[in-house]
Structure 1
Amino acid sequence: MPLIDDDGNLLGVINVIDALVVVLLLVVVAAGIGLVISVNSDGEPAAGAGPNGDPETRYVTLELRSQPDYVADRLDENETAAIAGTDDNITLTDVFVTAPTVNETQTVRVRAAVEGLTDDDTHDRNHFRVGGDPLRIGDGLRLDLGWHATNVTVTDLSTEGETLAIERTTTVVDVELDNVDPNVADELAENMTETVRGETIATIESVEREPATVIIESDDGNIYEREHPRNERVTLTVELRTTEHERETGTRFRGERLGAGTTIALDLDTTTVSGTVTDIE
């Protein structure tokens, strides 16, 4: 049997023109499926489209939220952590720890160098991809440090080494401790320090003591201020290791905003005290 007969049918069954139309339709459908697979609704290469882009190092800020003090104390700069679900690692470049809370947890924020790929989607938006997925502010990751695993949140992304643009500063403040037992006041002296992770973050420069005052009401309803018969008011002049953030106003101590009226705790050599900041030099 000839391939095309006298009536123009392919193998005597299908018209040649009809066959060409079917082939053309199959090609168009296949191309459309390929486009849907390679690009998602946001104009980004979809999962499974394959790795692409230019290698780049970004510096991210990661919020670890509350961590036990034994975890915060062990975190070190230059430590490497694996990103769960990927073959990628990050390297910690800076570690910032806030003051311990009443339940002995500390808020930890780290900066880290991350290796990834950058590419542009169909809308010319640049994406930084780690493990094949875009990494954005607000994303959650799980880090495996080997000795500890924890969930973190991306709070900043930068191409510069100083992700947070944090400047380490020194701030001298007056801290007033009111109604202090004399035995506690006796423990406070110049040059006492608080040390966190091997770094001195607070040093007492001077100690001033005076009788504490109490407010009493007389039988006729008048209000009087009188000296406390025993307790004292202690004013500490303290040098603090503080930080300033280019995107935030004010000075921070242990990650918390520092200002007149702020209550801070000092874990000193032999005692722990809490007082109110009354003056910032």
Structure 2
Amino acid sequence: MELIDENGNLFGTVNVVDALAVCLVLAVLVAGVAAVGALGGGADADDDSANEIRYATIDLGTQPSSTAEDVSVGDEMAHDDHPHTLTVTDVYAPPVSSGETHVTVRAEVSGTHLENGAYAFGDDEFTAGQNVSIDTGEYATTGSIETVEEEGAELPRTETDVLLEATLSPSAAADVRAGDEVAFGEETVATVETVSVYPVGDEHHRVFVGATLTTLERGADLRYGHVPVESESMIPISTADYDLALGVLETGVIEEAGEPATTTVEIDLEKLSDREASLFEPGLTETAGSETWATIQDVEREPASVVVESEDGELQKHDHPTRDDVTLTVELQTRNTELGPRFQGASLNNGDTVYLDFGVTSIEERIWLVEG
């Protein structure tokens, strides 16, 4: 059979002109598909149509409490010039005081990569150490990016026990009670578990507070708000009744060292007036924070001695006509440790000076251990 017959048909059936027209149409279609694939199909990471999701921890710093209360899960910010969004997925906000709160958020970020390979929100790099402005319409603030990760919509929280200490006025110390809570919205971020209050001077009480804090994990470190939870850090405890800053004595515990015990001591008071001596009697107690820390068990009273020179120049000891020496036997509520007893949060040894407030009178004298 001839390729093209006398009538111009290809293989005797298809007109050559028609066949060329069909081939031209197919060529145009193939070229169009190739152009679409090269220009618009399968966008790469540098194109806004290929957004990638990351999760960021952002420290918004200390905010007015009214602003902090506006920050909530679901808050969203859309970029003005790119199809990028930032959505709050978790909020951690321990109050610093009655008027201020430190805010940290976790956010889901939809962004892309820049030509240099950096992850970007809009045209700006979005990486740890960078600042980011957040404007949701309800509030506007600037935060510092701490981490950017591929997963994790929630902040890494953990519960941390701490033993805290402060020296307060008697009225301030009386406000602190076991069961007190620090809350932000419906979340409790700290709970006072134990409280011990010791009078240690005129108008000064030493307060030990055992608390459980909701902390953020940052690598191997723990943080309450913006404060690292470590020895000597000052932790803000803000409840509905008080704002305090307490120093960290120890982590992992809520009780003072040692086991509860009693230690008996003697205290010598010299040359007291009759009025002063009469204030001491068995049963008198030192009480603070609803606990009794010292109880007078016995009182011995005798005239004080006075040395008088006689007419012939000899020194003679006589009873003082108006002054008495008093010896108190006092039972102290202490804590026994491997290093010996502790009282008022400090070690207790022969010759140590202690302050005791019995209500009607107070003393600051050296003690001598009898037993314990």
TM over 0.5: yes
TM-score w.r.t. the length of structure 1 is: 0.69
Structure 1 residue matching 2:201: 3-state secondary structure: coil
SS at match of 1:183: helix
Which of 147, 158, 174 is the aligned partner of 1:56? 158
Residue 151 (str. 1) matches residue 250 (str. 2): no
How much does 1:224 deviate?
A: 5.8
Q: Which runs of 5+ in 1 are unaligned?
A: 3-9, 12-23, 39-44, 121-125
Q: Tell me which amino acid in the other structure corresponds to 1:146.
A: A
What is the Cα deviation at residue 90 of structure 1?
1.1
The 5 A counterparts of 1:107-126 are 107-118=206-217, 120=219, 126=220
CA contact (8 A) 1:37 1:49 kept: no
Q: Is 1:92 the counterpart of 2:192 in the alignment?
A: yes
Greater C-alpha Rg: 2
Map of 1:101 onto structure 2: 201
CA contact (8 A) 2:234 2:246 kept: yes
TM-score (norm 2): 0.54
Distance in 1 separating the partners of 2:168 and 2:342:
19
After TM superposition, give the deviation of residue 222 of structure 1 in Å: 7.5
Which residue of structure 2 lines up, in the alignment, with residue 272 of structure 1? 362
Q: What is the CA distance between 1:116 and its match in structure 2? A: 2.6
Q: 1:61 to 1:220 in 2, by over 3 A?
A: farther
Q: Distance in 1 between matches of 2:370 and 2:172?
A: 32
Distance 1:239 1:25, change over 3 A: closer
Contact 1:242 1:253 in 2 (8 A): yes
Cα RMSD, aligned residues only: 3.8
Aligned residue pairs, count? 242
Q: 2:176 aligns with which of 75, 79, 87?
A: 75
Aligned residues of 2:224 and 2:235 also touching (Cα < 8 A):
no
Give the whole-Å Cα distance in 1 for the aligned partners of 2:272 and 2:357.
Answer: 16
When residues 132 and 259 of structure 1 are mapped into structure 2, their CA distance, relative to the original with a 3 A threshold, is closer
What SS class does the counterpart of residue 280 from structure 2 fall into?
A: coil
Residue ranges of structure 2 left out of the alignment (5+ in a row):
1-30, 32-37, 40-112, 131-143
Is residue 342 of structure 2 the alignment partner of residue 252 of structure 1?
A: yes
2:320 corresponds to 1:231 = no
Q: Write the distance in 1 (CA, Å) between the matches of 2:356 and 2:127.
A: 61
Which amino acid in the other structure matches residue 263 of structure 1? T
- More RCO (CA 8 Å, sep 6+): 1
Matched residue, 1:47: 146
Paired residue secondary structure (2:171): helix
Residue 200 of structure 2 contacts residue 355 of structure 2 at CA under 8 Å; is this kept in 1? no
- Measured against aligned partners, the alpha-carbon deviations of 1:216-236 in whole angstroms (never above 9, x if no partner) come to 678999766543222111111
Contact 1:56–1:115 (CA<8 Å) still a contact in 2?
A: yes
User: Deviations for 1:116-143, whole angstroms, at most 9, x for unmatched residues?
Assistant: 34464xxxxx222434764332322322
Give the aligned residue type for 1:178.
Answer: E
Q: Note the C-alpha offset of 1:155.
A: 2.4
Matched residues in 2 for 1:49 and 1:155: separation? 33
The residue identity in structure 2 corresponding to 1:130 is Y
> Which of 351, 357, 366 pairs up with 1:261?
351
Cα deviations by residue, 1:186-232 (Å, 9 ceiling, x for unpaired): 33222222222222221111111122123567899976654322211
* Cα 1:154/1:270, change in 2 over 3 Å: closer
- Contact 1:129/1:135 (8 A) holds in 2: yes
CA distance in 1, matches of 2:352, 2:226: 45
Distance 2:331 2:244 in 1: 33
